[in-house]
Structure 1
């Protein structure tokens, strides 16, 4: 696959040239991959095994959080998949709900909600 073909896939995946450069501005890189799933917070999870191990799974945060996103906004079940603790995403093999499990909340340190 040539460099131009790869760039064409990236542009199509990110909704055109404008979307590609907005993604570059927001995330400091642009990739293309298969949508694996989406959590209830609007985070989208992708995988592309063309990229090397450790960089082939990623999350794209919703536009509603703007540039103020961090890793604490990823729920535990998706963290398992992103960090290769589990091979199957929670869309294929969901975690059993335990009565002692609390709902996910992001780290609010340094915010007004703290």
Structure 2
């Protein structure tokens, strides 16, 4: 977050709420753009769009008037919590046999025949 963004938020922004990742969400106090207020997020840590949970994404993009945090808190037990994109991080998913996991791929079954050029 730059100094300019902080000053703009301090002067023109109205705090709306925050999510479980520590991101803070704001909307403009008076300025109307195309008949609606401007909405933005101040990320905690590295700015990464996939860190925005679905309930706040809907609010940011003017799909809902209020954030859907109440509905998200009543999510079914089988629903997993939101995770940002972990590609390129040490927590990224690596299947068994991946070179970075230092594993061996399972041997192919008998129905596999490698192609060899004539």
TM-score range, shorter chain: 0.5 to 0.7
Partner of residue 36 from structure 1, selected from 5, 16, 35: 16
Tell me how far 1:30 sits from its aligned partner: 3.3
Tell me how far 1:90 sits from its aligned partner: 3.3
Within 5 Å, which residues of 2 pair with 1:76-95? 76-90=54-68, 94-95=70-71
Structure 2 length-normalised TM: 0.60
Q: Which has the higher helix share?
A: 1
Structure possessing the higher radius of gyration over alpha carbons: 2
- Distance in 1 (CA, whole Å) between partners of 2:58 and 2:50 is 13
Can you list the C-alpha shifts for 1:47-88, whole angstroms capped at 9, x where unaligned? 1151415770110012xx1xx321100111111111111111
Taking only aligned residues, the RMSD between alpha carbons, in angstroms, comes to 2.7
Equivalent pairs, count: 86
Moved over 4 A (4+): none
- Larger relative CO (CA 8 A, sep 6+): 1 or 2? 1
Structure 1 length-normalised TM: 0.62
Q: Which has the higher strand share?
A: 2
Within 5 Å, which residues of 2 pair with 1:11-30? 22-24=2-4, 30=8
